[in-house]
Amino acid sequence: MTDFEETNMQEPEREEVNIESGVSSDTADFEPLEDILPAEKKPKKKRNFFVENGIIIFCVLAILFIFFVARLIRVDGTSMTDTLQDGDIVVLWQLNYQPEIGDIVVIGAGENVPERYIKRIVALEGDTLKIENDTVTVNGEMLNEPYIREADWGEESIEMTIPDEQIFVMGDNRNGSHDSRAIGPINKGQVQGKVIQRLFPFDTFGSTELK
């Protein structure tokens, strides 16, 4: 037999392949997959304007409401008893208000009015007013006034036609009210609004409509 020399049969070295990256493991310096693929974009949160600016919006609305719609007023004095008492808290309606006979109104300080008044309208511009013997007559018709505190109050007599853009007001407590009987008619522009509701004290909560 022919002797054969032993030969070291070595298998050739296999290159390890990085299956995930698709390149040989002996390749120097390769970029990680996450650096190659574009990063996933996170959805942006929608900004809610009303939530982010809620306090500002609330303050603006409150200011607009107070100046143009309605606000709270404290009654000072006794000229409107027994309808309103000193210290009552009432709601004053201002939006698009037009004076009417019988309305309780707040009058701002100005001509003939040294401070804020709360009175009741008894006559409007152009009306013929006559006050005599504890009664008020407007355009020939006597007013029904169940709200006045005392029936005996008419010491003076007044007869006049209310000038344009003015109103005639009196307190329900006729014997304890400084009103148009002393200072004359009031400019309509000084009327701030109509009292529509009593809020405090709570045991007298309710409307002031007592015409």
Active-site amino acid positions = 79, 119
Sequence-ordered list of residues with C-beta below 8 angstroms from that of 158, at least 6 positions apart, any chain: 129, 130, 131, 132, 181
Is-contact 72 198, C-beta < 8 A?
no
